[in-house]
Structure 1
Amino acid sequence: MVQGADRNTERRVVALRHEGEDAAARLPALLAEADRIAATVAQGVHGRRRSGIGETFWQYRHHRPEDGRAAVDWRQSAKSDQLFVRQNEWEAANTVSLWRDGSASMQFASSRNVPTKADRAAVCLIAVAALLTQGGERVSVLGESAIARTGALGLERVSRRLILGPGAAQSVEAPHISRFSRIVLSSDFLDPPETWAARLSRFAAQEANGVLLRIVDPAEEDFPYSGRTRFEAPGSGETLLFGRAEEARNAYRARWAQHGEQLAALARQFGWTMITHRTDRPATSAVLSLFKTLARDV
């Protein structure tokens, strides 16, 4: 019994090592792809000026009750019968926490012509991280980065974690974040909407919101199968056999659309934005939408 357990443990260690080596082998290619996408997107977006705690004056705005008395710029307010607050140009770095789902379903790719959902999610997040760090913002990987960083070092560490890290569900089920954090969750979001409602409610309790980057394989949306087809649930080994898969196509597509609508409704309910991206389409469009959404929300 002990020898059998030892052999099982050894096989598991070998399998994990090979898995890690395979992931590491993909690292340069994925980083190069993310860098190319970030460079392309950067040409289409411009730097933004935002209000913050820097020292460079930007504009005056009307005083709001939550600002308090100390925020009033009395010199400017004395020129009229209204109270004004002095806003400065943003110079303090913000933090964006990124998460790439590491569940078994994210390893799916329906053909050799499309990447796995996990790889596409990592590429999109790394490209966005590159754009954010270029703007002086700090990035971290949710549940894996102890310290949020900016610059080349921060990008390098975040990139490795997004490709090689576990992407554990614990990171979104019991998140450790600061209030008002901005989050990007990249997943296929195949868990029941109730599960995601509970997860987003935990972020809401900490007054954090952000973007759901939903990664979809084309076969998942189109259901192109016909004839005798066996489907296997990733990770569980459970199978489902169809004698004529095409007969289930309409019902499947309706259920798929309903699931997407429920996710979008959840995002709106909690003040998040959902972006859906298919792996058979250029990642550039997803990165551009994601970056613009983050820029708009701050």
Structure 2
Amino acid sequence: MSSAPDRLLRRLEWRLGRRLDGRLQGNYRTVWHGAGIDFTDLRLYTAEDDVRHIDWNVTARLDEPYVRQYTEDRELTAWLVIDRSASMRFGRPSESGGAGKESTATELAVSIARLVSRGGNRVGAILYDNAGHQVIPPRGGRDQVLRITRELLQPPPRGKLGKTTDLEAMLQLAATTTSRRRSLIFVMSDFIGDPGWDRPLARLTHRHEVVVIRVVDPAEVELPDLGVILVEDAETGEQLLVDTSDPLLRSRLADQAGARETELAAGMRRAGVSAQRVTTDQDLLAALIDLVQRSGRGRR
């Protein structure tokens, strides 16, 4: 009998094969790959070429612009940096056994890992929570994806209540762990936590290609009308009875959500990235297709 990680991976592989292959018509196979550094030849400059590749010495001698050509390195190292803090467990249970944002991040991470590894590339993971973290060194193959899946399905350690997520420490850990070579890094988080994360994120993007995926539950943006309910802050453990039908409360929460969105957008701009928003009620494969296509446009 197959294990839960194997069942999840097989289900996602089936969905990838049926839908992703057809929608992208094989283009995803060359979206995420390495950048070569070995010089091989010179050729005449064309309007589509990057001016940074012009060989100015040869251009001066021949009185025509020439560009240097390089051997493309097909091997890529990808990292999944995944926020596993308490706030990521907000939302309804799903097929993978997780809740809301946590299961959305898990399924998206496993899908990305399998997609990257299918091109013969290596993938590693950094699973972060205030109570501890786990680093899975990058390797290739389906067994590596299965290992990452297995760890993601394990419940994260329980940290002390009253402490919000230290996103700055998570991104600094990512920078330290991935410092050896330029990599493609996927950062998955709801970005609910202490401020100051924009500076280490900017340093990370300076060295690596970074794709930021912000996982959001719609109920965090617009409170549903459920009457009087008991709510608990997953990060601090604070509990409070609230009347979700109260117009004043709904208006105040909407204002707070708007201010949080504005602050997050400003932080992303300071870091020099454009976060891709994925919601828990969104079709996951559609989100992945959009992610691949956007990344492809950015790498050309």
TM-score, normalised relative to structure 2: 0.73
Which amino acid in 1 is paired with 2:77?
Answer: T
Q: Which of the residues 98, 115, 126 maps onto 2:110?
A: 126
Match of 2:262 in 1: 261
The CA distance in 1 between the partners of 2:40 and 2:145, in whole Å, is: 27
SS at match of 2:23: coil
Which string of whole-angstrom CA distances, capped at 9 and with x for unpartnered residues, describes residues 92-133 of structure 1?
Answer: 311121022111121222467995211110111111111111
Report the number of matched residues: 268
Name the counterpart of 2:228.
228
Amino acid at match of 1:207: R
Tell me whether 219-228 or 79-88 shows the greater mean CA deviation: 79-88
Q: Over aligned residues, Cα RMSD in angstroms?
A: 3.6
The code of the aligned residue for 1:101 comes to D
**Cα 1:244–1:278 shift into 2, 3 Å:** closer
Which deviates more, 258-267 or 77-86? 77-86
Residue identity matched to 1:128: I
Which of the residues 185, 188, 192 maps onto 1:186?
188
Q: Distance in 1 between matches of 2:41 and 2:15?
A: 34
Aligned to 1:172: 171
CA distance in 2, matches of 1:296, 1:148: 25
Shift in Å, 1:239: 1.4
Q: Distance in 1 between matches of 2:254 and 2:270?
A: 24
Matches within 5 A, 1:50-129: 52-53=36-37, 81-88=64-71, 90-110=72-92, 115-129=99-113
Whole-Å Cα distance in 2 between the matches of residues 222 and 232 of structure 1? 17
Distance 1:171 1:191, change over 3 A: closer
Q: Is the contact between residue 187 and residue 214 of structure 1 (CA under 8 Å) also seen in structure 2?
A: yes
TM-score, scaled to structure 1 = 0.73
Which moves more between the two structures, 152-161 or 77-86? 77-86
- The answer to whether 1:279 aligns with 2:280 is yes
Contact 1:60–1:86 (8 Å) recurs in 2: no
For residues 224-274 of structure 1, the C-alpha deviation after alignment (integer angstroms, 9 at most, x for no partner) is 134322211114320122245432112212321332232233223322231
Deviates more, 1:216-225 or 1:54-63: 54-63
Say which one has the larger Rg. 1
Asked if the contact 1:59–1:87 (Cα under 8 Å) also holds between the matched residues in 2, the reply is: no
SS of alignment partner, residue 130 of structure 1: helix
Which one has the bigger helix percentage?
Answer: 1
* Counterpart Cα distance in 1 of 2:189 and 2:42: 38
Identity %: 23
5+ residue gaps, structure 2, are 128-133, 158-164
Q: What is the match of residue 18 of structure 1?
A: none
CA distance in 1, matches of 2:9, 2:51: 45
